[in-house]
Amino acid sequence: MPLFISYPDWIRPEIFPGLPIRWYGLMYVIAFAFTYWLFDIQVKKSGTVLGKDTVSNFFFSGLAGMLIGARIFATLIYADDRLNYLWHPWLIFWPFSPSGQFTGFAGMSFHGGLLGAVVGAVIYARVKKLDILLLADWIFAAFPLGYTFGRFGNFINDELWGRVTTAPWGIVFPTGEPLSSSLPWVQEVMRKTGLTADPSGMVNLPRHPSQLYEAFGEGLLLWLLFWFVLKDRKPFKGFMIGAYLIGYGIVRFVIEYFRNPDKGLDFIVVFQPGYSTSQLEIPLLNFSMGQILCALMILAGGLTLWGLKTYHAKQSLLAKATDLTPKPRRRR
């Protein structure tokens, strides 16, 4: 009995065959819709007087910043021909030749998207003089559930699959990287899973469905924690910002061990040489670009919580000092 799962052959990237409408794009539309809906629920529940246009414009300012930041980070950090984008920056947002042929990199970066969303939302809040900490608490409590659908889109798109595994839930992805059956570790995986090589001696091995790990870990799990536990128990305004940075950073850091490093970058920090001899092994002391960015997120989250807690404590002391200041008596 084969000890792996074949990628479902009924899953297709296109919603309608022959039309350029893909499930990947639809999943992101659903993600944005759910995030906006949950954000709007909190605005209405709070009783805060914010017009419908203000709520929508704040949300879409963050969304615009996210798309811009995600694309810039992806091309300048993860694309193989990064220098080409520096010399031809218009290709970042329009990677097509004059004849309409796709010429470049199609990826997006979560970390760049997060930074861009923060910049876009902060700019709008400052212009409209909105309480950015209160709004950020609401948006970060809602965001993880939307992220879940984005990762489902990656799974449907047959991309971002993980490292080789002999676990019974390992999936043979159609676009998985074929490996030579002459390698001893590949032969061992074939023996355990019951797979055979093709006539050319290459074999597509089962891989961790890391997209689904992320959908449930960075998405559903964090949302359940934030929405049902932390949202109504946060100790001060802005708490959800730091909580999200730390929570996402930790979960993504762990899941990165099961993902293949981005092509062209490999592991950025290497304390275990020889890791490339086997995609089956998980080198705990080698760190990918994603893990480095996650470590920075965790650090930023900790500093955010410390800074906001200090700020609110000072504001509280200042308010108490003001209340205790003797008021001058009025002369009668």
CA distances from 298 to 115, 153, 181, 234, 309 (A): 14, 26, 40, 18, 17
CA distances from 35 to 142, 315, 330 (A): 5, 31, 54
Residue 62 lies in a domain: no
- 305: tokens are 């919580």
Rounded distance between C-alpha atoms, residue 304 and residue 299, angstroms:
9
Q: Looking at residue 278, what is its pLDDT?
A: 74
Residue 332 lies in a domain: no
Closest CA to 268 of 299, 293, 301: 293
Residue 88 lies in a domain: no
pTM above 0.75, yes or no: yes
Which residue, chain included where needed, has tokens 């998405």?
A: 219
What per-residue string of b and e applies to 207-235 under the rule 16 or more CB within 10 Å gives b? bbbbbbbbbebbbeebbeebbeebbeeee
CA distances from 306 to 136, 236, 243 (A): 17, 11, 11
Residue 244 lies in a domain: yes
Which tops the pLDDT comparison, 187 or 101?
Answer: 187
- 167: tokens are 């676990």
Rounded distance between C-alpha atoms, residue 182 and residue 291, angstroms:
32
Residue 63 lies in a domain: no
Tell me the pLDDT band of 228, cut-offs 50, 70 and 90: very high
Which tops the pLDDT comparison, 228 or 3?
Answer: 228
Residue 163 lies in a domain: yes
Q: What contacts 24+ positions apart, CB below 8 Å, involve 104-107?
A: 104/75, 104/79, 105/74, 105/75, 105/78, 105/79, 105/80, 105/81, 107/74, 107/75, 107/78, 107/79
Residue 9 lies in a domain: yes
Query: How many degrees, rounded to 5, is the angle at CA 106 between CA 59 and CA 110?
Result: 45
Rounded to an integer, the average pLDDT of 70-91 is: 80
Give φ, ψ of 244 to 5 degrees.
-70, -45
The amino acid at residue 124 is Y
Rounded distance between C-alpha atoms, residue 250 and residue 46, angstroms:
30
What is the total residue count of the chain?
Answer: 332
Closest CA to 46 of 123, 129, 139: 139
Tell whether the model's pLDDT for residue 17 goes beyond 70.
yes
Count of domains for the chain: 1
Tell whether the model's pLDDT for residue 332 goes beyond 60.
no
- 242: tokens are 């730091």
Among 31-40, 57-66, 191-200, 321-330, the minimum mean pLDDT is found in 321-330
Closest CA to 200 of 173, 180, 175: 180
Tell whether the model's pLDDT for residue 326 goes beyond 70.
no
Are 92 and 75 contacting, i.e. CB atoms less than 8 angstroms apart?
yes
Tell me the pLDDT band of 168, cut-offs 50, 70 and 90: very high
Residue 252 lies in a domain: yes
| Parent domain of 298 | 5-50+130-322
- 182: tokens are 């002459």
Average pLDDT, the chain: 87
| 234-275 pLDDT, tens digit each | 999 999 999 999 999 999 999 999 998 877 677 888 888 766
Quick check: helix, strand or coil at residue 103? coil
